[in-house]
């Protein structure tokens, strides 16, 4: 399957470097490039057609210019113009396209010193299902110095793996910051100073053991420097950035773990000057925890005495006593999660025993299992008065894992019925109890 890169651009000057980098990345990796421009949904109807035509012409012209500049063939690409909220449409496209990497320019309000706060970029960083690369430097710069703030979490291990995978051959500085709230008050005490040095040595040894384990898993020997500093993690990180060389690009999750600035390599023969660094001058790569967390696969289950599914007034699946399970599938669901969910469906004890207690499973009562895919089950209802469906898996992914679930269910249990994936279905049921649970793996 061809990997997909998503470039979100407003065609501003700040986005030009990101556009250029995206063309190079797509050409070098053989990935498909999806170019997204989000237009104002409140444009007068008479202005929509000429504005869209002008935007498409500008994008096509930029593509041709950048391909000629970099001497690369035009990559496989698709141009999307969508009216709506920029943040929401970017995240939705990332989900629906199964994007491996989203690329944006660094947008700030005029005079804003902060890295991303208050921008569309900041909202995309928090919600995108894939790593997000924000670019400020031209595509002919090569990154070779990378700073990775680390701790002992699963997130840090994942981010370090991503760095080594996506940026092979770079020099890594691993920064671990640890803080004691009363360190200033105790700094004059010799006993405290001795303990602090012992603690620093212990943390370094623990980090070194973790690194050795990770490197053995990856079968690689990168150029790594381990730095352990005491202080507030954000302050330690920013101080390191301010002291860095000129022209860095940065990457990470605001802030630790995962924030990693990378310095672009100077062109051959160019002098290397040192100058103060402002964090907002960085390019950065953010891997959201959502991309690495073990999120559950879920099903809404109801204990029924009868349930059936109709499509166009034709019954396509029906059971008597048993479970009706509405299945919600997200983009990062896997076969392992599907199998875990099926195990719970078949063994979850919600049927009454001889004493009337919920102590029997659907298999114990020899009941039926009716499986129905329902993407609305994973809707985001936290804001506004309309549900958002950016968390739902694209149809091809949803159908793949729903089909897998059905096949495994039929291999393990004889009485399994289903709805029809993607169809407009009508479900009728008699809930026994009522008994309804939201089941998660």
In whole angstroms, what is the distance from residue 226 CA to residue 77 CA?
40
Please tell me which residue, 348 or 246, carries the higher pLDDT value. Answer: 348
pLDDT at 291: 44
Q: Please list the alpha-helical segments (H only) found in 220-292.
A: 233-242
Instruction: Give the position of tokens 């700094």.
Output: 187
pLDDT at 11: 86
CATH architecture of the domain formed by 1-139 = 3-Layer(aba) Sandwich (3.40)
Pairing label, strands 132-135, 142-149: unpaired
Provide the percentage of residues in the chain whose pLDDT is more than 70: 75
Specify the fold of 141-268. Answer: Rossmann fold (3.40.50)
Three-state SS across the chain? CCCEEEEECCCCHHHHHHHHHHHHHHHHHCCEEEEEEEECCCCCHHHHHHHHHHHHHHHHHHHHHHHHHHCCCCCCEEEEEEECCHHHHHHHHHHHCCCCEEEEECCCCCCCCCCCCCCHHHHHHHHCCCCEEEECCCCCCEEEEEEEECCCCHHHHHHHHHHHHHCCCCEEEEEEEECCCCHHHHCCCHHHHHHHHHHHHHHHHHHHHHHHHHHHHHCCCCEEEEEEEECCHHHHHHHHHHCCCCCCEEECCCCCCCCEEEEEECCCCCCCCCCCCCHHHCCEEECCHHHCCCCCCEEEEEEEEEEEEEECCEEEEEECCEEEEEEECCCCCCHHHHHHHHHHHHHCCCEECCCCCEEECCCCCCCEEEEEECHHHHCECCCCCCCECCCCCCHHHHHHHHHHHHHHHHHHCCCEEECCCCCCCEEEEEEEEEEEEEEEC
Report whether pLDDT(263) > 70.
Answer: no
pLDDT at 140: 62
Report whether pLDDT(246) > 50.
Answer: no
- Rounded mean pLDDT of the chain? 78
Three-class SS of residue 429? Answer: strand
Radius of gyration of the chain (CA): 26
- pLDDT tens digit string along 177-226? 877 655 666 666 777 778 777 877 887 787 787 777 777 766 667 778 88
Judge if 1-139 and 141-268 fold alike in CATH terms: yes
Any idea where the domains of the chain sit in the sequence?
1-139, 141-268, 298-440
- pLDDT tens digit string along 62-92? 999 999 998 999 999 999 999 888 888 888 8
- pLDDT tens digit string along 377-397? 888 777 678 887 767 777 878
Query: What CATH number should be reported for the domain whose range is 298-440?
Result: 3.50.80.10
pLDDT at 24: 87
pLDDT at 219: 64
Mean pLDDT across 55-59: 93
Cβ partners under 8 Å of residue 162, min gap 6: 131, 287
Minimal CA–CA distance to 33: which of 2, 11, 58, 12?
2
In whole angstroms, what is the distance from residue 87 CA to residue 97 CA?
16
Minimal CA–CA distance to 26: which of 103, 109, 136, 91?
103
Provide the percentage of residues in the chain whose pLDDT is more than 90: 31
Max mean pLDDT range (257-261, 269-273, 283-287, 415-419):
415-419
Mean pLDDT across 127-143: 72
Mean pLDDT across 240-264: 42
Identify any residues that bridge with 133 across adjacent strands, giving them in sequence order: 103, 285
pLDDT at 58: 93
pLDDT at 118: 59
pLDDT at 127: 76
pLDDT at 277: 32
**Residues annotated as catalytic (active site), given as ranges:** 374-376
- pLDDT tens digit string along 271-304? 333 333 333 445 666 655 444 444 578 899 999 9
Report whether pLDDT(421) > 50.
Answer: yes
In whole angstroms, what is the distance from residue 264 CA to residue 139 CA?
10
In whole angstroms, what is the distance from residue 328 CA to residue 386 CA?
18
pLDDT at 120: 77
pLDDT at 245: 45
In whole angstroms, what is the distance from residue 249 CA to residue 115 CA?
12
Q: Locate 99 and state its tokens.
A: 């994007």
Sheet arrangement for strand 142-149: 223-230, 171-178, 142-149, 260-265, 249-251
In whole angstroms, what is the distance from residue 276 CA to residue 256 CA?
22
Taking the whole predicted model, whether its pTM rises above 0.85 is answered as: no
Residue 201 near residue 226 (C-beta atoms within 8 A) = no
Mean pLDDT across 36-51: 88
- pLDDT tens digit string along 326-380? 999 887 677 778 888 999 999 999 999 999 899 999 999 999 999 999 988 888 7
In whole angstroms, what is the distance from residue 430 CA to residue 412 CA?
25
In whole angstroms, what is the distance from residue 203 CA to residue 159 CA?
19
pLDDT at 358: 93
């Amino acid at each position: 399957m061809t990997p997909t890169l998503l470039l979100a651009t407003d065609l501003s000057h700040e986005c030009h470097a990101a556009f250029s980098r995206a063309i190079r990345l797509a050409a070098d990796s053989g990935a498909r490039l999806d170019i997204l421009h989000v237009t104002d949904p409140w444009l007068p109807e008479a202005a929509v057609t000429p504005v869209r035509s002008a935007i498409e012409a500008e994008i096509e012209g930029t593509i041709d210019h950048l391909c000629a500049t970099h001497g690369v063939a035009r990559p496989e690409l698709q141009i999307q113009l969508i009216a709506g909220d920029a943040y929401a449409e970017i995240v939705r496209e990332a989900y629906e396209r199964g994007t491996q990497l989203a690329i944006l320019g660094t947008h700030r309000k005029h005079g804003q010193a902060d890295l991303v706060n208050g921008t569309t970029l900041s909202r995309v960083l928090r919600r995108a299902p894939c790593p997000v690369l924000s670019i400020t430097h031209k595509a002919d710069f090569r990154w070779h110095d990378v700073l990775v703030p680390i701790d002992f979490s699963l997130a840090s291990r994942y981010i370090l793996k991503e760095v080594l995978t996506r940026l092979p051959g770079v020099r890594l500085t691993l920064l671990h910051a640890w803080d004691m709230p009363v360190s200033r008050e105790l700094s004059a005490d010799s006993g405290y100073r001795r303990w602090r040095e012992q603690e620093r040595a212990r943390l370094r040894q623990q980090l070194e053991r973790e690194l050795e384990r990770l490197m053995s898993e990856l079968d690689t020997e990168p150029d790594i420097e381990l730095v352990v500093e005491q202080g507030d993690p954000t302050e330690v990180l920013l101080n390191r950035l301010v002291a860095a060389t000129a022209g860095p690009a940065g990457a990470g999750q605001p802030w630790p773990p995962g924030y990693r600035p990378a310095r672009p390599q100077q062109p051959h023969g160019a002098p290397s000057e040192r100058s103060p660094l402002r964090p907002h001058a960085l390019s950065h790569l953010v891997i959201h925890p959502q991309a690495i967390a073990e999120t559950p696969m879920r099903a809404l289950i109801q204990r029924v005495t009868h349930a059936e599914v109709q499509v166009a007034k034709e019954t396509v699946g029906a059971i008597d006593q048993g479970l009706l399970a509405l299945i919600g599938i997200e983009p990062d669901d896997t076969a392992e999660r599907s199998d875990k969910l099926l195990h719970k469906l078949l063994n979850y004890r919600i049927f009454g025993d001889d004493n009337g207690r919920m102590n029997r499973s659907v298999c114990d009562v020899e009941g039926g299992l009716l499986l129905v895919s329902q993407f609305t089950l994973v809707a985001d209802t936290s804001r506004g008065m309309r549900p958002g469906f950016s968390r739902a898996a694209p149809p091809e992914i949803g159908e793949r894992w729903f089909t897998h679930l059905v096949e495994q269910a039929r291999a393990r249990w004889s009485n399994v019925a289903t709805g029809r994936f993607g169809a407009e279905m009508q479900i009728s049921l008699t809930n026994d109890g009522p008994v309804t649970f939201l089941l998660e793996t």
